[in-house]
Amino acid sequence: MGRRLRATPPRCLPLCLSILLSLPLPAAGAAAARAAPGDGRPADVPSGAPADVPSGAPADVPSGPGRVRPVPGAVGRGWDPPPERWSAGHRGVDLAARPGEPVRAVAAGRVSFAGEVAGRGVVSVELAGTGSPPLRTTYEPVGARVREGDRVAAGDVVGVLERDGFHCPAGCLHWGLRRGDAYLDPLSLLDRGPSRLLPVLGVPLPADPGRRRGDAMRTVAARGSPVTGVSGVGAALVMVVAASWARRRHVRLRAEGPSP
């Protein structure tokens, strides 16, 4: 009479299960550490630069508190430098304003020019403490109220806007900024503080965005990654042990032969 085999699990199965249960949960930041290269944010705009400064604005333009807009009007046309020095472009910004409106110095400095250029009134101010060559702001068309060599502080009136129906039919101040022969974005001088998101009409805001983000991260961590998470490792380990046990049992049954 043949001997009937009893199907017993391999001796290593309890050890494997103990190892599986003792595995620690992955840290919440593990997924971030495994992020693919180049999946970062784009580089952030430096704090102190206004939101509408182009990304190519030179970094050597110091911005800070205590500076004012020359006129309070909105930007009608932004800075659009030409690709080449001789090409067409917009080498400054246009701020909405009405003829007769006062034009103020954006920062402290010395008046380097006050007069007419090609029949248009122009005032230029070299900004104090901006290196060598210094930054130079220009305002046109402006009837000057200062003279060359005068010292001005931020907010001082340097002139009044004149009528000019060619550049801006509705009226505007053309504001420029240069360092030497290089044209820069005048808006980069201003400090408008950190950007803030505004609500969109008809779209409710979440009650607690931070809490929802934390819940989502905990859910992902609990589920585990299908490749590197605890659940994936455990499933693979159990499958290997089960396959090994089944193979060994099959070999032993064939060696002993069928029972009578």
Confidence of residue 54 (pLDDT cuts 50, 70, 90): very low
Domain with CATH 2.70.70.10 in the chain: 75-189
Confidence of residue 100 (pLDDT cuts 50, 70, 90): very high
Please identify which residue in the block is written with the tokens 């998101």.
197
Helix (H) or strand (E) holding 116, with range, is strand 109-117
Q: What is the DSSP string of the chain?
A: -PPPPP----THHHHHHHHHHHPPPPPTTHHHHTPPTT-SPPPPPPTTS-TTS-TT--TTS---TT---SSSPPEEE--B--SSTTS--B-EEEEE--TT-EEE-SSSEEEEEEEEETTEEEEEEEETTS-SSPEEEEEESEEESS-TT-EE-TT-EEEEEPP-TTT-TT-EEEEEEEETTEEE-GGGG----S--PPPPTT-PPPS-HHHHHHHHHHHHHHH--TTTSHHHHHHHHHHHHHHHHHHHHHHHHHHH----
What local confidence, expressed as pLDDT, does residue 141 receive? 93
Mean pLDDT over the full length of the chain: 70
Judged against a pLDDT cut of 90, whether residue 242 lies above it is answered with no
Q: How many CB atoms lie within 10 A of CB 106?
A: 24
Query: Cβ(78)–Cβ(63) under 8 Å?
Result: no
What local confidence, expressed as pLDDT, does residue 247 receive? 74
What local confidence, expressed as pLDDT, does residue 87 receive? 61
Please identify which residue in the block is written with the tokens 């309070």.
72
- Is CATH 3.40.50.670 the right assignment for the domain spanning 75-189? no
Judged against a pLDDT cut of 60, whether residue 225 lies above it is answered with no
Higher pLDDT, 63 or 125: 125
Of 7-16, 54-63, 96-105, 199-208, the one with minimum mean pLDDT is: 54-63
Summarize pLDDT for 16-51 with one digit per residue, the tens.
556 555 555 544 344 333 333 333 333 332 333 333
What local confidence, expressed as pLDDT, does residue 27 receive? 43
How far is 114 from 159, CA to CA, in rounded Å?
Answer: 9
Please identify which residue in the block is written with the tokens 């400054």.
92
What local confidence, expressed as pLDDT, does residue 69 receive? 94
Higher pLDDT, 47 or 63: 63
0.75 cut: is pTM over it? no
Closest by CA position to 57, among listed 152, 159, 138, 135:
135
Of 45-49, 94-98, 243-247, the one with minimum mean pLDDT is: 45-49
Phi-psi region of 226 (alpha: psi -120 to 50; beta: other; left: phi over 0): alpha
How far is 18 from 43, CA to CA, in rounded Å?
Answer: 46
Confidence of residue 230 (pLDDT cuts 50, 70, 90): very low
How far is 128 from 96, CA to CA, in rounded Å?
Answer: 27
Phi-psi region of 244 (alpha: psi -120 to 50; beta: other; left: phi over 0): alpha
Judged against a pLDDT cut of 90, whether residue 107 lies above it is answered with yes
How far is 173 from 162, CA to CA, in rounded Å?
Answer: 9
How far is 251 from 245, CA to CA, in rounded Å?
Answer: 10
How far is 24 from 224, CA to CA, in rounded Å?
Answer: 12
